[in-house]
Amino acid sequence: MINHHPNTSILVDFVAGVLPASISIMIASHMDFCRQCRQQVQVLTEQAAALEFEPLADSLSQSSQTDNFDIDHAMSMIEAITEFDIDTQVSLPQTVTEIAIGKLRIPLPRAIKSVALKEWQGLGKLSRARLDVQDDERRMSLLYIAPGGSVPCHTHQGFEITLLLQGSFEDEMGQYHQGDFIWLDGKHTHQPVTTAGCVCLTVSSDAIRFTQGMSQLLNPIGKFIY
Ligand SMILES: [Zn+2]
């Protein structure tokens, strides 16, 4: 069961199309898993379309009373036009529809199937592959943490969005499962640990900062994850 969702103001921005590309992809990917957010986006899209449409409907009804104006038909036309189609937003030559870890095949969200995936790099139990999304300083990656792996205790200089694609992990704030959308920033300090292993889609706007022990020794991990 999904317990962590994007908040309503992010979904409003998603519908309005004003989010940076990488964050839009994260929302669309979460919606692959989450019926609740799909329904909320549907409602928000209808509301936004109705607001856009109201003045037009008024002027049309004043100018031509005899027109049999079908607002439902118009609404469905607008929906068809404004329907979110991430596939047309990012079109890069290489497509990856699933990743393989051992015998496990993990399907990727539709929103990243047309984004080029760079090669995997490993550091201990962590493996990371960047996604080729040009979005200023924000970096998008697939992160695999092998069973028993963890990321040392850290906080965030920018923000970090994690979408859990497969497996589970836990930290000081709780347990996370497939589909959970977790947005953390400098207000949060945590040490994610996974017993069974997990695959996440992440967006980070800056490097993480380790908070315990000889943190400078951990900097390579921080750079690796960002
Ligand atoms: Zn949701």
Tens digits of per-residue pLDDT, 51-106?
A: 877 766 666 665 544 444 455 666 666 566 555 555 544 444 456 788 888 788 89
Ligand 1 center from residue 3 Cα (angstroms): 8
Helix (H) or strand (E) holding 23: helix 21-33
Verify that 106 and 82 share a domain, yes or no: no
Verify that 116 and 214 share a domain, yes or no: yes
Last-in-domain residue among 53, 88, 123 = 88
Ligand 1 center from residue 5 Cα (angstroms): 4
Verify that 20 and 57 share a domain, yes or no: yes
Ligand 1 center from residue 2 Cα (angstroms): 7
Verify that 84 and 164 share a domain, yes or no: no
**Residue range 1-25: mean pLDDT, rounded:** 95
Q: What is the CATH number of the domain that holds 128?
A: 2.60.120.10
Last-in-domain residue among 88, 123, 157 = 88
Verify that 62 and 147 share a domain, yes or no: no
Verify that 119 and 215 share a domain, yes or no: yes
Phi and psi angles of residue 168, each rounded to the nearest 5 degrees, phi first? -155, 160
Verify that 76 and 141 share a domain, yes or no: no
Domain containing 184 equals 98-225
pLDDT of residue 224: 78
What amino acid occupies position 59?
S
Verify that 79 and 14 share a domain, yes or no: yes
Query: For residue 122, is it within any domain?
Result: yes
Q: What pTM, to 2 d.p., does this model score?
A: 0.79
Phi and psi angles of residue 150, each rounded to the nearest 5 degrees, phi first? -155, 165
Residues 131, 17 contacting (CB under 8 angstroms): no
pLDDT of residue 222: 78
Verify that 212 and 189 share a domain, yes or no: yes
Q: Domains in the chain: how many in total? A: 2
Ligand 1 center from residue 31 Cα (angstroms): 6
Residues 90, 25 contacting (CB under 8 angstroms): yes
Q: Where is pLDDT greater, at 74 or 162?
A: 162
Percent of the chain whose pLDDT exceeds 70: 81
Verify that 116 and 186 share a domain, yes or no: yes
pLDDT of residue 67: 46
Last-in-domain residue among 88, 123, 151 = 88
